[in-house]
Amino acid sequence: MARRKKFDDVNGWLVLDKPVGMTSTQAVARVKRIMHANKAGHAGTLDPLASGLLPVALGEATKTVSFVMDGRKIYRFVVQWGIETDTDDTEGVVVARSDLRPSRDDVLDILDEFTGEIMQVPPAFSAIKIAGERAYDLARDGEEVILEARPIQVHRLDLVDMPDADTAVFDCECGKGTYVRALARDMGRRLGTCGHVVGLRRLLVGPFGEEDMVPMDRLDELAETGEPAAPRGELLAVDTALAEIPEVVVNRDGAARLRRGQGVILRGRDAPTEAGAVAVTCGGDLVAIGEIEGAELRPVRVFNLEG
């Protein structure tokens, strides 16, 4: 019987530059194997046809995934005018065509309509659940998928380039739940033509940006050394994901109480005055994610990062 390879308690974030053609699940599995890590997950799916920033959480970092997913995202995407598909990207079947091509001024004139809080109908081929089933599974089975419009937040939508009459390149900074494919579809319709995404790259997710990304080729090179510590040198600390929430410092007694699931009474002028999530540290080490209720700090997620 072959011996199972030993995996370790690896903790931290790997900000992967996911290549085109790989699912997010495949990317996470590969990172987990390269890192010899016991536990891994990701903060926000990227379609196989998309590339770019995929934050992979390892070990205790999986407890901070929600804080990354709730953060802002920046995408650069390419729209081809004149064709609409049932998936709103190049994987789908063509469902509409138009000979009309918008001018640069036409496109600039509508961008404000797609900025701010807007209502968006997600693509039929999406991971949204309908009666417990994924919409894309129903759509692939030939069933009619009807999704309700829902509010999304688009902080910024810029026209970057129009290299030819058929193509436009955009940058979009948006909140959780925004479908760039649906933006392309809806902009096409608003312009009296059709549109679908032919290229998509994610550049930012929450606290992670382009400067943090590690190409898969780089990980593969480090893995070939045979030393698990080599690729682990690319990891960012677990608390990187908590950069946008307040920090509360406790002493050793307070840290011990929190690790036992007990609350701590906060005193002094440094105690936060507003309720909400906080990152709790002791001696520079992350102890817990807590919530402030009155003068009490209660643990929500406790971390095991010692040693």
Contacts of 68 by beta carbon, 8 Å cutoff, 6+ apart = 43, 44, 55, 57, 205, 206, 207, 208, 241
Mean pLDDT to the nearest integer, 11-36: 95
Q: What is the pLDDT of residues 180-229, one digit of tens each?
A: 999 999 999 999 999 999 999 999 999 999 999 999 999 999 999 888 78
Is residue 70 flagged as an active site residue? no
What was the pLDDT predicted at 106?
98
Give 174's strand partners.
73, 154
pLDDT band (50, 70, 90) for residue 270: low
Given 47, 88, 89, 186, which residue is catalytic?
47
What was the pLDDT predicted at 295?
82
Q: Is the pLDDT of residue 11 over 60?
A: yes
Contacts 24+ apart (CB under 8 A), 117-120: 117/151, 117/152, 117/153, 118/151, 118/152, 118/154, 119/149, 119/150, 119/151, 119/152, 120/149, 120/150, 120/151, 120/152, 120/178, 120/179, 120/182, 120/183, 120/186
Q: Is the pLDDT of residue 1 over 60?
A: no
Contacts of 113 by beta carbon, 8 Å cutoff, 6+ apart = 190
**For the ranges 1-5, 34-38, 297-301, which has the lowest average pLDDT?**
1-5
pLDDT band (50, 70, 90) for residue 2: very low
What was the pLDDT predicted at 68?
94
CA dist., res. 282 & res. 255, Å (int): 7
